[in-house]
């Protein structure tokens, strides 16, 4: 029997043991280019020593991670396990048939038969009438007697086993494959008063593993799963987040020191596809708009942020996986306009989420060091003046000024009240009316 492959006429593959498609497929996806695949397939095995194959495993499989098990029906001993990935291609076939009889049909239906002398570029055939040179764009079909031994059409796992049980067996295969990941995207629609938002979240699963998983039971893993690395290599790990609430479509449960999220239906993960599955649906969340002036990071710009508390009272209260957070804002005519986007880190329940949307057009900050005195080799006293200008026509604002004095520091004098939320930050909350400029001065002693 012959079959045509990409313009080449080749015989169909014959497997030593006929293997049916997978009865079950389970795919567990991590968020750092890794997935665990578990398949159950029924096979017919003779008594004693025999060979069987799993065809169509992903091209990016880690063959050293494969585990084979059997469900009932007596013992099964694995003698050899092989991963075959020398796939059929034009170049492979031509290489194997060098100095062998070959038939070539051109696009003008002219037949050439002879001994193949080249495997790359234009074809050279040694025929009974002499040497024939055929450009690639002239060739319609090349016919070979058979597929050379060792070449296959898809990546294949092959086992040699000793079967001491039933002829029909249900085999379980588990393996790791690279090329799969999951991440999260959030979309928020903020009202015209900047007081509430409608929040939706999606889990995106990306499959570049080289295989399609039809009707798969899908899970995503939340936790910090360590992966071994050869000495001298960079550490490898999977930074993920524990989400232990009921999200639409997902059922959560603990596993070891991690969390598993099991999709409550089967789905198909096609190769080279990004599939989105809903995580959050229309959560109504109160928020606060915040203006932040942080001179060490943004010079004279005043950042605009939205912040919200990840609590049950705010229709959330779930650990939020890190991901991109897009914000749309309602205009005065009711239409939504894009307001900005940011990445959020993994955020536990009851913690604050802060989203940077951009820089305020009508707010300006200016910072100057007005005095510096050296007290000793390690101690300095410095004086700063910060000017905040609100060029809005009507709206008064409150600007959070955040400074980082460095070292061990203490404020000696200040024109406004200040806070020390941690050893690194010095903060002022400064109201600024429309059209007003406010000056903040302070003197700080720093030990380096």
Question: pLDDT (tens digit, 9 = 90+) per residue, 304-356?
Answer: 999 999 999 999 988 787 889 999 999 888 899 999 999 998 788 899 999 99
- Give yes or no for a contact between 25 and 213, defined as CB atoms under 8 angstroms apart: yes
Q: Does residue 191 sit in the same domain as residue 315?
A: yes
Question: Based on C-alpha coordinates, what's the Rg of the chain?
Answer: 33
| Domain stop point among 119, 143, 167 | 143
Q: Write out the H or E segment, with its range, that includes residue 92.
A: helix 90-96
- pLDDT at site 400: 97
Please give the full DSSP string across 49-68, using - where no structure is assigned: EEEEEEE---TTB-GGG-EE
For residue 395, the domain's CATH number is 2.60.40
Q: Does residue 360 sit in the same domain as residue 251?
A: no
Cα gap 145→310, rounded to integer Å: 67
Euclidean distance between the first and the last CA atom of the chain, given in angstroms as a whole number: 82
**Per-residue confidence at 18, pLDDT binned at 50, 70, 90?**
very low
Torsion of CA 366, 370, 374, 379, to 10 degrees: -40
Q: Does residue 315 sit in the same domain as residue 375?
A: no
Provide the token pair at 414: 């200040």
Cα gap 354→348, rounded to integer Å: 13
> CB within 8 A of 79, min separation 6: which ones?
49, 159, 160, 161, 162
**Per-residue confidence at 1, pLDDT binned at 50, 70, 90?**
very low
- pLDDT at site 32: 75
Among the residue ranges 38-47, 101-110, 220-229, the one predicted with the least confidence is 220-229
Q: Does residue 345 sit in the same domain as residue 356?
A: no
Query: Whats the size of the chain, residue-wise?
Result: 448
99-to-94, 122, 127, 150, 199 alpha-carbon distances in Å: 10, 15, 12, 18, 67
Q: Does residue 242 sit in the same domain as residue 279?
A: yes
For residue 118, the domain's CATH number is 2.30.30.100
The burial class, CB within 10 Å (0-12 / 13-18 / 19+), for 370 is: exposed
Q: Does residue 38 sit in the same domain as residue 163?
A: yes
Q: Write out the H or E segment, with its range, that includes residue 94.
A: helix 90-96
Q: Does residue 434 sit in the same domain as residue 302?
A: yes
| Domain stop point among 351, 379, 404 | 351
Which residues is 113 bridged to in the sheet?
Answer: 103
Cα gap 112→150, rounded to integer Å: 27
Q: Does residue 254 sit in the same domain as residue 341?
A: yes
- Which of helix, strand or coil describes residue 193? coil
Q: Does residue 280 sit in the same domain as residue 192?
A: yes
Provide the token pair at 80: 């050899």
Q: Does residue 75 sit in the same domain as residue 9?
A: yes
Average per-residue pLDDT for the chain: 83
Nearest to residue 167, comparing CAs of 78, 50, 25? 50
| Domain stop point among 159, 177, 195 | 177
Domain that holds residue 156: 2-87+151-177
Q: In this predicted model, what pLDDT tens digit does every residue of 99-110 receive, in sequence order?
A: 888 888 888 888
Average pLDDT over residues 230-240: 42
Please give the full DSSP string across 316-342, using - where no structure is assigned: --SPBPPEEEEEEEE-TTS-EEEEEEE
> CB within 8 A of 223, min separation 6: which ones?
238, 240, 242, 256, 257, 258, 259
Q: Does residue 240 sit in the same domain as residue 324?
A: yes
Q: What is the DSSP letter of 368?
A: E
Domain count, the chain: 4
pLDDT at 230 over 70: no
pTM: 0.68
Q: Does residue 173 sit in the same domain as residue 234?
A: no
Helix (H) and strand (E) counts in the chain: 2, 32
């Amino acid at each position: 029997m012959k079959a045509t492959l990409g313009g080449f006429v080749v015989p169909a593959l014959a497997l030593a043991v006929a293997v049916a498609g997978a009865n079950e497929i389970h795919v567990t996806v991590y968020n750092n280019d890794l997935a665990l695949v578990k398949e159950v397939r029924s096979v017919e095995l003779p008594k004693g020593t025999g060979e069987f194959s799993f065809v169509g495993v992903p091209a990016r499989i880690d063959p050293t991670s494969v585990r084979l098990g059997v469900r009932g029906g007596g013992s099964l001993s694995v003698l050899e396990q092989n991963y075959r990935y020398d796939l059929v291609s034009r170049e492979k076939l031509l290489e194997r048939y060098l100095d062998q009889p070959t038939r070539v049909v051109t696009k003008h239906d002219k037949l050439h038969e002879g001994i193949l002398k080249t495997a790359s570029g234009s074809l050279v055939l040694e025929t009974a009438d002499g040497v024939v040179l055929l450009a690639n764009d002239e060739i319609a079909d090349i016919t070979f007697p058979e597929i050379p031994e060792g070449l296959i059409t898809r990546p294949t796992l092959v086992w040699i086993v000793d079967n001491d049980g039933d002829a029909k067996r249900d085999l379980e295969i588990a393996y790791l494959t690279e090329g799969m990941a999951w991440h999260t995207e959030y979309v928020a629609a903020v009202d015209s008063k900047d007081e509430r938002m409608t929040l939706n979240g999606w889990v995106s699963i990306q499959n570049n593993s080289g295989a399609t998983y039809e009707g798969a039971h899908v899970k995503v893993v939340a936790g910090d799963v360590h992966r071994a690395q050869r000495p001298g290599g960079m550490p490898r790990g999977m930074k993920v987040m524990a989400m232990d609430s009921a999200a639409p479509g997902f059922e959560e449960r603990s596993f070891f020191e991690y969390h598993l999220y099991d999709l409550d239906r089967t789905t198909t993960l096609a190769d080279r596809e990004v599939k989105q599955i809903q995580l959050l649906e229309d959560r109504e969340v109160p928020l606060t708009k915040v203006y932040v002036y942080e001179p060490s990071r943004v010079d004279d710009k005043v950042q605009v942020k939205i912040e919200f508390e990840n609590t049950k009272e705010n229709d959330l209260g779930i650990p939020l996986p890190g991901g991109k957070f897009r914000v749309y804002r309602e205009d005065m005519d009711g239409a939504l306009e894009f307001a900005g986007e940011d990445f959020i880190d993994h955020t536990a329940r009851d913690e604050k989420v802060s989203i940077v949307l951009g820089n305020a057009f009508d707010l300006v900050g200016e910072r100057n060091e007005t005095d510096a005195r050296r007290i000793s080799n390690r101690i300095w006293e410095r004086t700063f003046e910060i000017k905040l200008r609100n060029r809005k026509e009507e709206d008064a604002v409150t600007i959070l000024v955040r400074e980082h004095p460095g070292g061990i520091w203490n404020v000696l004098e200040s024109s406004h009240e200040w806070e020390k939320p941690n050893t690194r930050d010095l903060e002022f909350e400064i109201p600024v009316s429309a059209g007003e400029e406010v000056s903040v001065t302070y003197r700080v002693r720093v030990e380096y």
